[in-house]
A and B are shown apart, each in its own frame.
Chain A
Amino acid sequence: MFRLESRGLINREKRLNFSFNGKKLYGYDGDTLASALLANGNHLVGRSFKYHRPRGIFSSGSEEPSALVQVGLGANTEPNIRATTIQLFDDLVANSQNHFGPLEWDFMRVNDFLSPFLSAGFYYKTFMWPKSFWEKIYEPIIRKAAGLGRLSGEPDPSTYDKGFLHCDLLIIGAGPSGLQSALMAARSGAKVIVADEDFLLGGSLNGDHTQINNDTGVNWVKKTIEELMSFKNVRLMPKTTIYGAFDHGIFGALEIKTNLERVKSDKPRQVLWRIYAKQSVLCSGSSERSLLFGNNDRPGIMLSRSVRQYCNRWGIIPGKKISIYTNNDDGWITAKDLKEAGCNVVMVIDERSDIVVPIKNVDYRLGKKVMDTKGSLRISSLRLDDGTTVETDCLAVSGGFNPNVHLTCHERGRPQWQEKNHCFIPGKIPKGMEVVGAASGAFDLNNIFDETSLKMKKILSYLGYKHQGKIKLTAAQKPYNVAPFSKSLAKGKVWVDLQNDVTIKDIKIAVQEGFHSVELLKRYTTLGMATDQGKTSNVLGLSVLSLLKNEPIEKVGTTIYRPPFTPVPIGAFAGRSRGKHFKPVRLTPSHQWAEQRNAVFVETGNWLRAQWFPLEGELTWRESVDREVLQTRESVGICDVTTLGKIDIKGRDAGAFLNFVYANNFGKLAVGKVRYGLMLRDDGIAFDDGTTARFAEDHFVMTTTTTNAVTVFRHLEFCRQCLKPTWDVHLLSTTDHWAQFAIAGPNSRALLSEIIDSKSDISNASFPFMACGKVSIFNGIEARLFRISFSGELAYELALPRRYASSFMEHIFETGKKFNLIPYGTEALGVMRIEKGHAAGNELNGQTTANNLGLGKMVSKLNDCIGNTMSEREKIDGEGILKLVGFAPTNKMQTLVAGSHFIPKGKPAKLQNDEGWMSSVAFSPMLNKSIGLGFIKAGDQRYGEKVDSVNPLNKEVIEVEITSPHFFDPEGDRLRG
């Protein structure tokens, strides 16, 4: 075992079983997968991306570049999980990634020996001959080799949720400065959120032996958190990563909900929060960087502070013969703690020669460098520049610390170079954000506490809160001096980016070939583009670049970090909006009624509409639809048309307003009358159409198409508020208040008379075609009646308060029996409108003009209305433009296809002969043949001419005759009857 007897913040009472590559292992409550693996002496956890080098656990946090594993089985399997951040739970199943054959004997490791030929950008220079080989041979091999973990290929079974939080102050990171900030804010009464990605708050203090106010850091953390929990105005959020900083103080946060108890629960496993913060404090601390030397990527080579944390926080013995390689004071702290814990520290190597050795009885070398390491699946020895070889199975490396500035870059602020500590610190910081602690480039706890206190007082008073009482924190002095980057390039195979396998050689070649601007270097070598976004590699890369260009590092520049800070599951971003819940469902008032009659439903926008109503014995949809058409045209049918947008327009200037928004005249529409209206966009293209009824001098009721209901309302509000602000006009959407039914067919009036209360007279004389009015039905229910017809039959639309709709359907079908009344769906509706040549969505597709639709004459030339002016442009108005006409196959047996194009007889089917297209088709049961509407050049002057309707997608050509679009009852006697 590699676990110390006592030491660490783990609960040794609670033993947790897990498996890695099938091996049954165990750890304790409080472990991460990484610490549990190390406790079992397991360093080797995966293979590198390109050369398939053995790789081990490198760090103890979210910066981990190497220890990526596949967690879980079946549909629950999740790729690229950092072993260093996932909290161990019972029965966790983990497997290593990206190797072919066993982890220890990955066959792809040949790449390592081929590495001279796989240098930076090699793939841009080959795989080009023969041409056909790329997709067939080269690329499939490359794709198979690339990638890390795998998806299950099954739908993600987990659920996710989202939420919105608001606070005065968001504190990002719960390390020393974060907890101090939290405490000050909490006591001041400000509304605070404290978020930390770790499941244990306290940050570095949990892994260090720090003294704060003569108490251990760990105890101070405990006490502080207890106090914070006692405040109502504080929300502590462990396991919550602030993944992004966005405009105006909006932060994205991902909270991991799964824990020991909730691994298998059906509750959301993660919650994606949108946090609105008046102010924020970034206390994200720092990450350690490595040093550059030969074969610096072997398992067992780890970051120094991580080694220390594994020992202190998790009671791990990281190795039997531990060596430490540092260029700064922190490495010695690791040495000290390891020795105290009773670990065997074989040697400390410090690049600096002019220092006082802070600890006793340890073998050390000053002013020396590590040149190379040996070992197959784990480091076995290292060699110094003086030739000394040291047997070691764990090398703790410290190349200094990088402040975690990532979130300060999310609004494209660039970090700036700090010479003192040789690191990049926040440059331009997002508005409302303050950075404290190591994240700001301060590394001494006492300075940090003082600085934090000052900054917090400012923030609190800015927020209008008073800082309460005194918080005086003092810590044991810990000097931090770090040597500058080495002035000479390390020799051999030296890794800069562990995860993307970028070595110094690659950077050399890139510079040599002219890719020496940071951005080009990054793209050419893929440096820093792996799943860790270069947390451990970017700065090292820059140091190499500055050597090669021999420019100071601040001159060679830096790439910025983009959200998210750590990768976020796509499922979490989607939250609940998936499957049937992707978008809300809108139901028509007669939906239930239709369901009971086995209606087939169709999506129209967010609406579900009855498409047709199949009867016993009807085998195809055509049978049902044909019947619905025939029966409606023969007697009477009802269709729910509630989905059409309905807008109440009121006000003294309502008439003038309609005149302005419609292309045709409305001012003179009499009260009690309805008129068809065509609405154009300001660019003269047809936008929407519908009927508008006048119920009073200052009251109109407009209907829009189902799909445009929302956009038309928005457009009308724009016209009202922005173009005619002085007019007295008021708009209100009443779509959902009124249930509206089309009642069509020769018997519609007879049917209506049965349900309408005696006082309303709907005889043809007093209620002719295009009349409208208020009526009362079923003993005093107030309703609106419109005599309009989309079907071309004698028809009405009846609107009644939605609450009565279901009951209404029951009753009217009871009453309608004697007329064998039927319900018809959107298909029959479509067939009848095509028989009548009415334009609909397929014709009003945003590309057609009033002229194309054959409605040019309607467009007002005199007064100013939306769209009429621009509709007079030559290409829109000119000769030979497309016209909407009808088409019928010369061979009755053939079926037309919407989307076919029209080619003159005898001309080849080519673009230059393309004269238009078929927009809508239907089988007309009345004419007993396939008919279509479509647009063709100068169609209105070509009735009787025959053209080819070509559909190369199905390799079919159908000869069609151009006809009037009005196939059925062209004179319209039926609707006036």
Chain B
Amino acid sequence: MIIPHPYLGPRDACEFVYKGDAELVFRPERVEPVDYDAFHDYLYLRQNPAGIHKELWYHEYGDRSWLVVTRNTQTHEILKVEFASNYISKQKNRKSNV
């Protein structure tokens, strides 16, 4: 596969390390009383769609950035690639707006 890096252009997927569901960037905070279920769901119940999937890739042999890649798990087509940091701030804004 080829992952089009926002700055570095098309890069062979072998430069990257995969982590999984992009939801992993939204880790629950530990506050009293501790919500164990929230941590359980965060860690173990991931998105696993047959289709569009937002997922985390780390550019280990590159700029060491964590990227959020939007990819179709049935065709492997890549629709979007963004820095995790940008993705997070956008999502947070969206969430705070609703």
Contacts and interface: CB of A to CB of B under 8 A. Distances in A.
Direct contact of A and B (CB under 8 A): yes
Contacts of B76: 247-248
Interface of A: 246-250, 274, 276, 411, 431, 682-683, 714, 717-718, 721-723, 725, 863-865, 868-870, 872-873
Nearest to A681: B43
Given A722-B84, A869-B39, A714 B2 contact: no
B24 interface: yes
Contacts of B30: 863-865, 868-869
Contacts of A276: 2, 10, 12
Interface of B: 1-2, 10, 12, 17, 19, 24-25, 27, 29-31, 34, 36, 39-40, 43, 56, 58, 60, 64-66, 75-78, 84-85, 88-89
15 contacts: A246-B1, A247-B2, A248-B78, A250-B12, A276-B12, A411-B75, A683-B43, A717-B58, A721-B66, A722-B88, A723-B27, A863-B30, A868-B30, A870-B40, A872-B36
B66 A722 contact: yes
A342 B29 CA distance: 89
A683 B39 CA distance: 9
B57 to A, nearest CB: 11
A873 B36 contact: yes
Contact of B1 (A247, A431, A682, A870): A247
A722 B24 contact: yes
Contacts of A714: 17, 58, 60
Contacts of A725: 84-85, 88-89
A339 B89 CA distance: 78
A758 to B, nearest CB: 41
Contact of A722 (B1, B56, B75): B56
A845 B71 CA distance: 34
Given A248-B1, A869-B39, A873-B36, A722 B77 contact: no
Contacts of A873: 36
Contact of B66 (A248, A683, A717): A717
Contacts of A863: 30
B interface majority secondary structure: mixed
Contacts of A869: 30, 34, 36, 39
A826 B59 CA distance: 33
A863 B31 CA distance: 8
Given A248-B78, A723-B27, A725-B85, 20 more contacts: A247-B1, A250-B1, A250-B2, A250-B12, A411-B75, A682-B27, A682-B43, A683-B43, A714-B17, A718-B19, A718-B56, A721-B65, A721-B66, A722-B66, A725-B89, A865-B30, A868-B30, A870-B36, A870-B39, A872-B36
A722 B84 CA distance: 6
A interface majority secondary structure: mixed
Nearest to B31: A864
Nearest to A164: B12
A876 to B, nearest CB: 12
Nearest to A873: B36
Given A718-B58, A722-B88, A725-B89, A864 B29 contact: yes
Closest A-B pairs by Cβ, 7 of them: A864-B30, A248-B2, A722-B25, A247-B1, A721-B66, A725-B85, A247-B76
A721 B2 contact: no
A758 B25 CA distance: 50
A914 to B, nearest CB: 28
A682 B26 CA distance: 13
Nearest to B78: A248
Contacts of B36: 869-870, 872-873
Nearest to B40: A870
A93 B29 CA distance: 72
A701 B43 CA distance: 29
B34 A721 contact: no
A721 B84 contact: yes
A873 B10 CA distance: 43
A431 B77 contact: yes
Contacts of B89: 725
Contacts of A431: 77
A590 B86 CA distance: 44
Contacts of B43: 682-683, 870
Nearest to A278: B10
Contacts of B34: 869, 872
Which of A682, A722, A723, A725 has the most chain B CB atoms closer than 10 A to its own CB? A722
A622 B78 CA distance: 57
A487 B77 CA distance: 43
Contacts of B1: 246-248, 250
A975 B22 CA distance: 46
A508 to B, nearest CB: 37
Contacts of A274: 12
B68 to A, nearest CB: 9
Contacts of B75: 411
Nearest to B36: A869
Contacts of B29: 864
Contacts of B56: 718, 722
B44 to A, nearest CB: 8
Contacts of A411: 75
Contact of A249 (B2, B60, B88): B2
A865 B30 CA distance: 8
A864 B88 CA distance: 20
Which of A274, A718, A863 has the most chain B CB atoms closer than 10 A to its own CB? A718
Contacts of A683: 43
A363 to B, nearest CB: 56
Nearest to B65: A721
A683 B24 CA distance: 13
A786 B75 CA distance: 53
B66 to A, nearest CB: 5
A649 to B, nearest CB: 14
A249 B2 CA distance: 8
Contacts of B85: 721-722, 725
Contacts of B58: 714, 717-718
A249 B3 CA distance: 12
Contacts of A246: 1
A721 B58 CA distance: 10
A718 B25 CA distance: 9
